[in-house]
Amino acid sequence: MDITFIITIFLIGFIGSYISGMLGIGGSIIKYPMLLYIPPLVGLTAFTAHEVSGISAIQVFFATIGGVWAYRKGGYLNKSLIAYMGISILIGSFIGGFSSKLMSENGINIVYGSLALIAAIMMFVPKKGIDDIRLDQVTFNKSLAAFLSLIVGIGSGIVGAAGAFLLVPIMLVVLKIPTRMTIASSLAITFLSSIGATIGKISTGQISYYPAIIMIIASLIAAPLGAAAGKKMNTKVLQIILAVIISITAIKIWLEIL
């Protein structure tokens, strides 16, 4: 590994993990296309889609640990929501992580692009009044939450993305969870999801360990910093940033596929 490789991978991991902590996502929605397209632009060997999804899976595991730790105080973590959605997405991510070995490079990209497109559309649905709900009075449909997180787990396990970029719109739009509770709880749920995806990728030999280690170091530094910034930002601004990021990523992936 040369210094250009180390710096490039570290910066990709740092940027993605900072956004992860700030917006309550695992960060793969940012790091997946960055890992896919940036290394060749700076003269490095391109990663395959399988390698990118493997690196993303193990990196998300560590990025979400840092984010959850930063949100551990203040009543933002909804334990019931985390339990119902976390267990379901863990099961789904095991299925997706193992089955991804059977898919083609283009197939993995299509799954990723489809998830990003759905998430982008959902983020532009009006979310009026959800932040007026007191955190200790939040309720949700438990069966619906478990079912939707299972589906997200299967799809996200395939791409090693942990699924938070789709979980956040579901929690905001469908389950009507306040923004900051959504961000904090989705990080915890994503942590559980990343366990299944990571085990699936490791057991099928889809992890490139050197770049993964660099990404992990960047994640442990950047995710808590991003979470601290997110707690100070206006919730509407957080929603807009996430909507824009997801939309740009979806457009980029589909342009490459088509």
Phi-psi domain of 129 (left: phi exceeds 0; alpha: psi -120 through 50; beta: other): left
Domain ranges of the chain: 3-257
- Distance of CA 8 to CAs 43, 196, 214, Å? 11, 27, 10
SS (H, E, C) 27-63: CHHHHHHHHHHHHHHCCCCCCCHHHHHHHHHHHHHHH
Looking at residue 159, its pLDDT comes to 67
239: CB partners within 8 A, 6+ apart: 123, 127, 172, 179
Q: Which residue has the tokens 């959902």?
A: 122
Q: Measured in Å, how far apart are the chain's first and last C-alpha atoms?
A: 33
Are the CB atoms for 215 and 9 separated by under 8 Å? yes
- Distance of CA 22 to CAs 25, 94, 188, Å? 8, 26, 14
Looking at residue 162, its pLDDT comes to 57
Residue 18: other Cβ atoms inside 10 A: 24
pLDDT tens digits, the chain, 258 residues: what are they?
588 889 998 998 898 888 878 877 766 667 777 888 888 888 888 888 778 878 877 777 887 887 888 888 778 889 999 999 989 988 887 787 777 777 776 777 777 778 778 878 888 877 777 888 888 888 899 999 999 988 888 877 776 565 677 888 889 888 989 888 888 898 888 887 777 667 777 787 777 788 888 988 988 898 889 888 888 888 788 878 878 877 877 787 787 777
Maximum CA extent, the chain: 53
Burial of 38 from C-beta contacts in 10 A (0-12 / 13-18 / 19+): middle
Please give the radius of gyration of the chain, using alpha carbons only, rounded to the nearest integer.
17
Looking at residue 206, its pLDDT comes to 72
Helix-strand-coil percent breakdown of the chain, rounded to 5?
A: 80, 0, 20
